[in-house]
Amino acid sequence: MATRWGFGADLAIDLGTATTVIYQRGAGVMLDEPSLIATDPRTGALLAVGRDGYEMLGRAPGQVQLVRPLVGGVIRDPVAAERMVRHLVTSLRPSRIVRPRMAVALPGHVSPLERAAVEDAVLRSGARSVFTVDGTLAAAIGAEEQVSGPSACLIADIGAGKTDLALISLGGTVVARTLPIGGDTLDHAIVEWMTRQHRLLLGTRTAEDIKVRIGSAGARGPAGPMRVRGRDIDSGLPRTVVVSPDDVREALAAAVAELREALAALIGQAPPELAGDLVGGGLTLTGGGALLHGLAQHLSESLQVPVRVADNPRWSTALGVGRCVEDFRGCAPC
């Protein structure tokens, strides 16, 4: 979605492994696009960015190179990241007179080198200055949690490439942990399960569709089976199989269990007073992975604390960083 800015309108960016969300000061979220860039490897020409690039996944000919510039929330291809951010920012048609300030969400565990890579890519994309903000704290703020008070706030920000867990109190992180699991992990688990059980090879887009339509974390998942098409590993020919919600739940069980156990361990590291707060305040889920059917109920029953999904979990981090660009004087960089 594009709009014409005012002079030097500031931006908040949630630069994610799978999706980039951009918030404009005074206007809210203005862009939500896949973090993907397509180029011609022979000439380096930019062919597509964002949703246009996503439509090429699994379908692009050999002369098209598809790249996700970020892995686990960290830039792995600085040149591709710069080109992607520049293209997305330019698509909003900003003022050419005054360059905007930009605030960017970063995982709390990033190294100085990784932080510098993000700042450099964003500066090169057209920002006049860059602020970095703790992504998990931003997700909590965007989910309307009261992070500045003395009561504990437990957040699980489930992205595509990773999950950030944090216990927050008095505006700071008390204990935190990052898991190398996320939405991509669930997609790959479905691909591997289909390979083992049905000798059927799927693309990641098909696996994601299965996850969204009939995937679940609990016993009461979506009703009804799904017909899935893929390539038979033995014959190499197309084949269709029927997959049930129970099948998909089995495929996802190990990843869900890892998340549950990590949350239990994090709660176990909390000071007794803060752990007691969770009986009332509970856990808040943000990020696209929070939308997995039945996940909140499953975690609530397992951890014995209330669990809620943020009103707009995919945008929670961008909305939280957006609070920063609405008042840069109150912005506390990480």
Asked if residue 289 belongs to a known ligand binding site, the reply is yes
* DSSP 3-state of 62: coil
Beta-carbon-side half-sphere exposure of residue 308 (alpha carbons within 13 Å)? 13
127 to 74, 104, 145, 265: CA distances (angstroms):
19, 11, 29, 40
CB burial of residue 24 (10 Å; 0-12, 13-18, 19+): buried
Residue 134 to residue 323: CA distance in whole angstroms: 13
- Of 17, 103, 35, 21, nearest to 312 (Cα)? 21
Interatomic CA distance for residues 232 and 333, integer angstroms: 51
Is 290 labelled a binding residue?
A: yes
Contact assessment for residue 243 and residue 207, using Cβ atoms and an 8 Å cutoff: no
On whether the CB atoms of residues 111 and 19 are closer than 8 A, the answer is no
288 marked as part of a ligand binding site: yes
Find where tokens 């969204």 sit: 212
Strand partners, 52: none
Known binding residues for ATP: 208-211, 288-291
Annotated binding site: 208-211, 288-291
